[in-house]
Amino acid sequence: MSHPLLTLTTDFGPDGPYVAALKGIVLGLVPGTQIVDVTHRIAPQNILEGAFVLASIFDAFPPGTVHLGVIDPGVGTDRKLAALRVAGQWVLGPDNGLLGGVVRGRTVEGIWEIANPALRRATVSHTFHGRDILAPAAAHILGGGDPAAFGPPLPKVLCLANFEPRPTHDGYVAEIIFRDAFGNLVTNLHISQVQQIPPDAWSIEIAGHRIAGLVRTYADRPPGQVVALINSMGWIEIAVVNGDAGRQLAAGPGTTVWFHRSRTA
Amino acid sequence: MSHPLLTLTTDFGPDGPYVAALKGIVLGLVPGTQIVDVTHRIAPQNILEGAFVLASIFDAFPPGTVHLGVIDPGVGTDRKLAALRVAGQWVLGPDNGLLGGVVRGRTVEGIWEIANPALRRATVSHTFHGRDILAPAAAHILGGGDPAAFGPPLPKVLCLANFEPRPTHDGYVAEIIFRDAFGNLVTNLHISQVQQIPPDAWSIEIAGHRIAGLVRTYADRPPGQVVALINSMGWIEIAVVNGDAGRQLAAGPGTTVWFHRSRTA
Amino acid sequence: MSHPLLTLTTDFGPDGPYVAALKGIVLGLVPGTQIVDVTHRIAPQNILEGAFVLASIFDAFPPGTVHLGVIDPGVGTDRKLAALRVAGQWVLGPDNGLLGGVVRGRTVEGIWEIANPALRRATVSHTFHGRDILAPAAAHILGGGDPAAFGPPLPKVLCLANFEPRPTHDGYVAEIIFRDAFGNLVTNLHISQVQQIPPDAWSIEIAGHRIAGLVRTYADRPPGQVVALINSMGWIEIAVVNGDAGRQLAAGPGTTVWFHRSRTA
């Protein structure tokens, strides 16, 4: 591959030496790898948020991209590490639910356990497998290596239950899984689950607030109004026009959102 | 171009999937593009701050650099997107004032409206034109494309009135437009507007505080003293030696600063 | 060098134009240089924290890497700038203690004062030598230039006294020098100073709290327990399992930590 491309999604925080150390290992093994920092501000150990972010960026990247996720509260235990080939791209990380987001609605082409000690750093720490095992594993793929060298194939990756909304008799019980820098509240309900229903037919409840229908874009309503729309990543999002929905509704990740199809629709 | 170079200035925040998605689109279209994140922490929808940052970094970059700014409160409305060629570099973004900063004191070589649907992603969202229209537009220039393909030329870009200080009978009424990580307060008054006057001749008022003259560097005064100086980007800056001017003066973006030429100078 | 690699460690903050301006200068001089942001969130003017971060990432990078550190409270005074060749890599920055961390336990291969006006930008500001002197100096090395062109060799770089713990009759008086995004508290005591002693023999005191022995990894103890361990960078770290040690112990950089070898060990 002439332009190896790696993305990183972690909860390391932006302040310390961890991210740079991981990058140094990759760049020593595959010089010239281009690295995109997706985020290092996943809330500490929030696997669900990491799975959401990976699923949200996936379609924007070209074939051959390697996505490395490190949100790893089980480091040092017997949780597995895995490499997943999906729709021509790669996702590597602990098999704790983090890899489960990109699987939804996409074609899994292979899953391997990352278990081969020969593809690790010579000395592996007890607390930083991102640098010592996952960075060399990413470099293995970035350098054109065979994934079968990692270890045995795995039948599936772990998917977190609350990554999917729960269907009800007239819609869904969904959940906020991400609050962005503007205060927009992104739910786990996806366009593929609502596109059969007319946008006006939805009635949405969040934090004691009722929203009638989905709008097309923020500018369709006056400033200050609470709206729901299909966002640019394909998720249903609750927003306040020119405002901060998280603050105005006192809501955030974990907040329940009810979607009802109205009787007249 | 053998080393395509792109900078990004946005209000997307550093936490979410938006920046990475935009980069993925560019890298899929022009593999190997080098991307410099200027900042993704422009205060939400603060066009003035974005215009200031773009103007401040411009001279440090080599010819051919493409600067993409996305602070776009009007996304989904009929605001225009534009590509500006200035002094051998490119600036792309919404024509809402964001592009107006780099124009000050530099040679505009061309402005085009970004309007050609063929240079967009196949599907354009209603809320993320940065990824769906501006990223492919930046890739078009990074890949050596003809700007005339974007659409009709535009006569000028929008410049925000408060990007320029207001002249008075004995100087200027200026405004803080940026507070940096050290608490230094950067005004919109530029070296080109003060260099005819001896540095000692200025008397400066901010937040009830009076400063006599401009110093050469922070170390010219003892710790704790409030000073004014021409900063490294060419702006007049209010600082506290080894301290935080923003906190000490309770001042920040929007604070008025009076510059008076003293009678005796 | 086919893949010039530069890392940046500064206190510029992530919000402003300073980091990008510095990068623009390097990329104009050595196009295609790959740049890794270690951190721009060193606490303003905290040289000790910068020295720690540089020392912590160093071993992860390949030979030929240039590390540029800019924490420079003395900018504009007569403090020296220096280029240090250590173990096949380069560290450039002000000689104020920032370069002293990587020297510990590694082979110094050369030190040069960065003094040659011909290797600077044409115009040098009084307040931003990172961009105007150090960025071109880094580019000089990245482009394969001779370090002797910088200026006279220097006999040594400055090392901060509190970068090293103080030996006592039964161990060390150490200090927290870094608090990471998880709240883990990293001390200045290094594995090389404790590895002769059985891990169980240590008794550790911090903020009125006593910890018995070093554990191997976080998962060795139940959630909520305060533990000490050798972290992935080789430093002794105080952590709370699945918690935030900084908050729980009300401790952070500067907090004293006593290490006692127990009598029975």
Q: Does C265 score more than 70 pLDDT? A: no
* Among chain C residues, CA nearest to B39: C15
Q: Which residues pair with B256 in a beta bridge?
A: B175
Residues whose CB is less than 8 angstroms from the CB of residue B105 and which lie 6 or more positions away in sequence, other chains included: B190, B192
What's the pLDDT at A82? 98
Q: What angle do CA A194, A197, A202 make, to 5 degrees?
A: 85
Q: Does A265 score more than 80 pLDDT? A: no
DSSP assigned state of A61: S
C123 interfaces chain A, CB cutoff of 8 Å:
no
Which of A38, A58, A90, A227 has the most B C-beta neighbours within 10 Å, making it the best mutation to test the interface with B?
A38
Partner residue opposite A128 with nearest CB, options C36, C219, C232 = C232
* CATH domain B5-149 topology: Rossmann fold (3.40.50)
pLDDT tens across A45-89, in order?
A: 899 999 999 999 999 999 999 999 999 887 777 889 999 999 999
Q: Does A264 score more than 70 pLDDT? A: no
Residues whose CB is less than 8 angstroms from the CB of residue B161 and which lie 6 or more positions away in sequence, other chains included: none
Confidence of residue C1 (pLDDT cuts 50, 70, 90): very low
Confidence of residue A111 (pLDDT cuts 50, 70, 90): very high
Query: What would the DSSP string read from start to end of C59-117?
Result: GGSPTT-EEEEE--TTTTSSPPEEEEEETTEEEEEESSSTTSTTTTTS-EEEEEE---G
Strands C235-240 and C185-190, by their bridges, are antiparallel
Reported in sequence order, the residue ranges of B63-165 that DSSP labels E, i.e. its strands, are 66-70, 81-86, 89-94, 108-113
pLDDT tens across C172-181, in order?
A: 999 999 998 8
Task: Tokens 């607390």: give the residue.
Answer: A127
pLDDT tens across B201-251, in order?
A: 999 999 999 999 999 888 889 999 999 999 999 999 999 998 999 999 999
B21 interfaces chain A, CB cutoff of 8 Å:
yes
CB atoms within 10 A of CB B61: 23
Length of chain C equals 265
Q: Does C245 score more than 90 pLDDT? A: yes
CB atoms within 10 A of CB C191: 12
* CATH domain A164-261 topology: Elongation Factor Tu (Ef-tu); domain 3 (2.40.30)
C76 in Cβ contact with C43 (< 8 Å): no
A192 interfaces chain C, CB cutoff of 8 Å:
no
What's the pLDDT at A152? 97
Give dist(CA A35, CA A39) in Å, integer.
Answer: 12
Name the CA dihedral angle for B245, B246, B248, B254, rounded to a multiple of 10 degrees.
120
- State the complex-level ipTM: 0.91
Give dist(CA C140, CA B99) in Å, integer.
Answer: 33
Give dist(CA A214, CA A194) in Å, integer.
Answer: 10
pTM reported for the whole predicted model: 0.93
Name the CA dihedral angle for A106, A108, A112, A113, rounded to a multiple of 10 degrees.
40
Where do the structural domains in chain C lie, given as residue ranges?
A: 5-149, 164-261
What's the pLDDT at A100? 95
What's the pLDDT at B263? 62
Inter-chain touch C24–B14, beta carbons under 8 Å: no
* Among chain B residues, CA nearest to C22: B60
A254 interfaces chain C, CB cutoff of 8 Å:
no
Give dist(CA C120, CA C137) in Å, integer.
Answer: 7
Which burial class, exposed, middle or buried, applies to A69 when counting CB atoms under 10 A from its CB (0-12, 13-18, 19+)?
Answer: buried
**Mean pLDDT of all residues in B150-158:** 97
Which structure tokens are listed for B229? 């100086």
Give dist(CA A101, CA A79) in Å, integer.
Answer: 18
What's the pLDDT at C263? 62
C188 in Cβ contact with C173 (< 8 Å): no
Distance from CA of B178 to the nearest CA of A (A): 19
Which of A10, A22, A27, A129 has the most C C-beta neighbours within 10 Å, making it the best mutation to test the interface with C?
A27
Q: In this structure, which amino acid lies at residue C159?
A: C
Q: Does B1 score more than 50 pLDDT? A: no
A224 in Cβ contact with A247 (< 8 Å): no
Using only C-alpha atoms, chain C has a radius of gyration, in whole angstroms, of: 20
**Could you check whether B5-149 and B164-261 share the same CATH topology?**
no
What's the pLDDT at A77? 74
